[in-house]
Amino acid sequence: MLKMGFEALLGQANTEIQTISVDDAKRHLESGDVLFIDVRETQEVQNTGGLPGHVHAPRGFLEFIADPESPMHKTELSSGRRLVLYCASGGRSALAAKTLQDMGVNNVCHMAGGYTAWVESGGPVNTAE
């Protein structure tokens, strides 16, 4: 039996991370003061596209991509800019934001509703990669 299921993990993460709305994310996109991190799987991004200017960091590789000591590190994640994580609906990005906070990244949040909510709100997207 599991010690903690996904709902409990998500609940815990959501109490410890910051969540921003799609409308807030749109304002940040316009001002250019944040870096959007797409934590979806590669196939999802290829099939549906992503937010303009996003950095792709699949959740399964996030710890390696975020760690400056890793050969997989993406320097954009160490730029000092606030990181706004998103996935398809908000679950994976919440867990990913919690992971980054646990690693010592303090300028991180996630977007409620994820890419689905972004698209439904009419937010701009880059075509599939």
pLDDT tens-place string over residues 69-127 = 999 999 999 989 999 999 999 999 999 999 999 999 999 999 999 999 999 999 999 98
What totals of helices (H) and strands (E) does the chain contain, helices first? Answer: 6, 5
pTM of the model: 0.93
Pairing of strands 82-86, 55-56: unpaired
Domains and CATH numbers, the chain: 14-120 (3.40.250.10)
pLDDT of residue 101: 97
pLDDT of residue 43: 96
H helix intervals, the chain: 6-16, 22-31, 42-48, 62-66, 91-103, 114-120
